[in-house]
Amino acid sequence: MATPLTAARLLGALRAEGVRAVERSGWRTHHRNHKGPWGGVNGVAIHHTAGTNSLEFVWRGTAALPGPLCHTHLAKNGTATMISAGRANHFGRMARNAYSAMVNESPHHPRPDGAEPIDGNRHTYGIEIENLGDGRDPYPAVQYDQAVRWAAAICRAHGWNQHSVIGHKEGTRRKIDPSFDMNAFRGKVAERLRHPAHWNPEDDAMPLSQEDIEKVAQRVWEKDHFIRVPWGTEANPEWMAKSIIVDTGTRLRDLQEQVTALRAAVCELTAALAADHPGTEASAAAGGRVITTLDQPATRTEPQP
């Protein structure tokens, strides 16, 4: 049992959750608290209107079923109009097993009993979602998202989880609304409750697949007009990273070949000098070193005295 939110707190919670709530004049005092108790509250109930343009209808109701008929009316375009912050004629009687499941936040929402001893209007907030309810009329994404936010906002404000959210059809055998799957809806509410109130699902970066990663890697290496190279031509001053790597490797191998050739020439020259002047400064001509390979440390020979 929880104390019902005041009109101001209800509106604040909804707006913090991203509900595009519009205040209908007089909604804060539009209720049926004089006809029966309001609270403690235990959950939120989801309805479809089974009609079109039902805003006036849910405000006024009928002689047999006087308004308000919900706390919020949700239009197809996602506009959430505030109708009431008190007792509203949206639920009617409720089965005890359904009520207990909601109170206990049970993950199992049983088929409601036939007997209906509970006053659903006392214990639940209700939203009327504009939809024909024939299973063919779609719920636009913006409307569905606003409904999820509406339910999540009230759960968050009371510290409830997604199992405090039930469809009207889950509380009584008399009803079939809403026409969408409530477990999927509760899943969306739970997802919202794992995030802060201001969270938008599209804020989360899309996870990259392995294929995406491969594509990104290839794009990086093949991105042209990216790196200016000192040896670029006027017509092509900036190269792909891939071309720079390949070009650098080619140049490095050319250099290695040149160094090897030079080394051979020096050795040849050293040998020739030694033959012409045996026992003299032959090795000194090579700087006192016999260079073997680039990779190994030079082996020193002592200069001749």
Q: How far is the CB of 125 from Zn ion (least distance, A)?
A: 13
Site string for Zn ion, 208-247 (x = CB under 5 A): ----------------------------------------
Minimum CB distance to Zn ion smaller for 32 or for 47? 47
The yes or no reply on residue 168 touching Zn ion (CB under 5 A) is yes
Stretch that binds Zn ion, among 53-61, 171-179, 264-272, 274-282 (CB under 5 A): 171-179
The yes or no reply on residue 192 touching Zn ion (CB under 5 A) is no
CA distance linking residue 226 with residue 136, whole number of Å:
53
Q: How far is the CB of 174 from Zn ion (least distance, A)?
A: 9
Minimum CB distance to Zn ion smaller for 66 or for 237? 66
Q: How far is the CB of 50 from Zn ion (least distance, A)?
A: 8
Is residue 165 within 8 Å of 103, Cβ to Cβ?
no
Q: How far is the CB of 36 from Zn ion (least distance, A)?
A: 18
The yes or no reply on residue 71 touching Zn ion (CB under 5 A) is no
The yes or no reply on residue 109 touching Zn ion (CB under 5 A) is no
**Given 30, 31, 32, 47, the residue binding Zn ion (CB under 5 A):** 47
Minimum CB distance to Zn ion smaller for 124 or for 283? 124
Stretch that binds Zn ion, among 3-11, 138-146, 165-173, 270-278 (CB under 5 A): 165-173
The yes or no reply on residue 177 touching Zn ion (CB under 5 A) is yes
- How many residues interact with Zn ion (rule CB under 5 A)? 3
CA distance linking residue 266 with residue 145, whole number of Å:
80
Q: How far is CA 82 from CA 8, 17, 55, 241, in A?
A: 11, 15, 10, 59
Binding residues for Zn ion (CB under 5 A): 47, 168, 177
